[in-house]
């Protein structure tokens, strides 16, 4: 934390980038840090390779998020990215090697690619940004507080994930005291979907399949075009599938514009999909992880399902051994 503070205090121009296909924690943390540094008189470029999902358009500063790589900024800050490739088209190897990189993230699979690795295994990256802004003594206004609360609320699924403690609730209270509205955020983020998303869900749910305790569905480009859906729409579908009784892991396979297959995985309590995601070139949390794989849908599907089934079997055996030793 102190090293990140020193780099940011010394810099006048800062480039801040979050991961592709951004979620609420990525966008909220990006805006929270960018707006906070601006309150300290810094010039900040806020960037994301993919468009900001429409549901986050109520956040101050979202229109300023660019898809351009860094230029003359003195320091690069990466937000909520477990590895450098998660930055997508923002990553320019020559530029990134020539600048100090502050890697701010909370994923267990983070590869520690930064000059400074501010990686803490917390429920959200927004919490790390909040602590850093406090260390920098940045003024906390309504816009910053709202952005950070969006990050906290979305990655904890409204404080419902198993890693939520009183610490996260205390942070939420502090942000609400600074002007953020928990009621407005939950309404705008969780209770508002475009018709294209509902159409996409309908298409995907009609193709749900199950093998043992693993459930999955597929979204191809034909479905995307038919529904007029944006590339990052419908991301919450995998969490919905994971809520199915009798299912340990849910997976959504999505065909991207370039033909690669994006794989989103969610696990039930006590199961871990992060190792599979990491093995296949991705990352994430034990219960929420993903990766992107080149290949045809059918081939990628069978590869991932095989890895998941093997991982579940291995984890089940480990549980049995622990129970036997405990008995």
Assess whether 186 and 59 both reside in one domain: yes
pLDDT digits (tens, 9 = 90+) for 140-181: 999 999 999 999 999 998 998 889 999 999 999 999 999 999
Chain mean pLDDT for the chain: 94
pLDDT of residue 230: 84
Pairwise CA distance, residues 34 & 47, whole Å = 10
Domain termination residue (choose one: 157, 190, 223): 190
Assess whether 107 and 240 both reside in one domain: no
Domain termination residue (choose one: 134, 164, 190): 190
**Where residue 191 falls among pLDDT bands split at 50, 70, 90?**
confident
169 to 80, 176, 182: CA distances (angstroms): 21, 10, 12
Assess whether 289 and 182 both reside in one domain: no
- State the CATH number of the domain containing residue 271: 3.10.310.30
Domain termination residue (choose one: 190, 225, 258): 190
- State the CATH number of the domain containing residue 182: 3.90.1640.10
In the sheet where 43-47 sits, what is the strand order? 43-47, 13-18, 75-79, 101-105, 116-119
pLDDT of residue 327: 60
Assess whether 180 and 208 both reside in one domain: no
pLDDT of residue 54: 86
Assess whether 182 and 294 both reside in one domain: no
Assess whether 184 and 203 both reside in one domain: no
User: In the predicted model, what is the mean pLDDT of residues 220-231?
Assistant: 93
pLDDT of residue 289: 92
Relative orientation angle of helices 24-39 and 142-155, to the nearest 10 degrees:
160
Q: 240-244, 285-289, 307-311 — which is least confidently predicted?
A: 285-289
User: In the predicted model, what is the mean pLDDT of residues 64-85?
Assistant: 95
pLDDT of residue 265: 96
Pairwise CA distance, residues 82 & 20, whole Å = 11
* Percentage helix, strand, coil for the chain under 3-state DSSP, each rounded to 5: 45, 15, 35
Assess whether 48 and 175 both reside in one domain: yes
301 to 55, 217, 281: CA distances (angstroms): 30, 10, 15
**Where residue 307 falls among pLDDT bands split at 50, 70, 90?**
very high
Pairwise CA distance, residues 241 & 111, whole Å = 29
pLDDT of residue 192: 84
Higher local confidence (pLDDT), 139 or 325: 139
Helices (H), 15-97: 24-39, 93-97
Strands 209-211 and 214-219: antiparallel
Query: Does residue 326 carry a pLDDT above 90?
Result: no
pLDDT of residue 295: 95
Pairwise CA distance, residues 39 & 30, whole Å = 14
pLDDT of residue 205: 97
Pairwise CA distance, residues 134 & 37, whole Å = 11
- Give me the percent of the chain exceeding a pLDDT of 90: 85
pLDDT digits (tens, 9 = 90+) for 240-260: 999 999 999 999 999 998 999
Number of domains, the chain: 2
204 with 241: CB under 8 angstroms? no
**Where residue 232 falls among pLDDT bands split at 50, 70, 90?**
confident
Assess whether 172 and 208 both reside in one domain: no
Of 40, 49, 41, 45, nearest to 20 by C-alpha is 49
236 to 155, 157, 288: CA distances (angstroms): 11, 10, 11
Assess whether 186 and 199 both reside in one domain: no
pLDDT of residue 233: 82
User: In the predicted model, what is the mean pLDDT of residues 192-212?
Assistant: 94
Assess whether 169 and 280 both reside in one domain: no
Domain that residue 223 falls in:
195-326
Pairwise CA distance, residues 253 & 132, whole Å = 36
Assess whether 52 and 152 both reside in one domain: yes
232 with 264: CB under 8 angstroms? no
Assess whether 19 and 153 both reside in one domain: yes
pLDDT of residue 291: 92
- pTM of the predicted protein model: 0.85
């Amino acid at each position: 934390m102190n090293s990140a503070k020193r780099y940011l205090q010394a810099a006048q121009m800062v480039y801040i980038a979050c991961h592709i296909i951004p979620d609420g924690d990525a966008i909220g943390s990006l805006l929270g840090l960018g707006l906070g540094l601006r309150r300290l008189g810094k010039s900040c470029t806020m960037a994301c390779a993919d468009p900001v999902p429409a549901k986050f358009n109520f956040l101050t500063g979202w229109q300023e998020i660019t898809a351009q790589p860094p230029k003359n900024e003195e320091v690069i800050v990466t937000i909520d990215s477990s590895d450098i490739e998660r930055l997508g088209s923002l990553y320019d190897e020559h530029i990134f090697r020539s600048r100090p990189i502050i890697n701010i993230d909370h994923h267990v699979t983070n590869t520690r690619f930064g000059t400074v690795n501010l990686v803490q295994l917390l429920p959200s990256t927004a919490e790390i940004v909040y602590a850093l802004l406090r260390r920098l003594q940045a003024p906390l206004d309504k816009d910053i507080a709202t952005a950070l609360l969006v990050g906290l609320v979305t990655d904890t699924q409204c404080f419902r994930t198993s890693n939520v403690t009183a610490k996260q609730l205390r942070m939420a209270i502090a942000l609400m005291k600074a002007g953020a509205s928990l009621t407005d955020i939950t309404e705008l983020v969780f209770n508002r979907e475009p018709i294209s998303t509902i159409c996409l869900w309908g298409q995907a749910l009609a193709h749900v399949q199950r093998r043992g305790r693993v459930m999955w569905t597929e979204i191809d480009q034909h479905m995307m075009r038919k529904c007029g859906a944006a590339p990052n729409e419908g991301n919450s579908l995998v969490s919905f599938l994971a809520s199915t009784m009798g299912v340990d892991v849910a997976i959504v396979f999505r065909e991207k514009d370039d033909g690669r297959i994006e794989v989103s995985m969610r696990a039930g309590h006590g199961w871990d999909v992060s190792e599979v995601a990491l093995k296949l070139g991705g990352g994430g949390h034990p219960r929420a992880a993903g990766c992107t794989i080149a290949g045809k849908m059918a081939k990628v599907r069978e590869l991932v399902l095989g890895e998941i089934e093997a991982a579940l079997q291995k984890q089940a055996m480990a549980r049995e051994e622990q129970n036997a030793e405990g008995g």
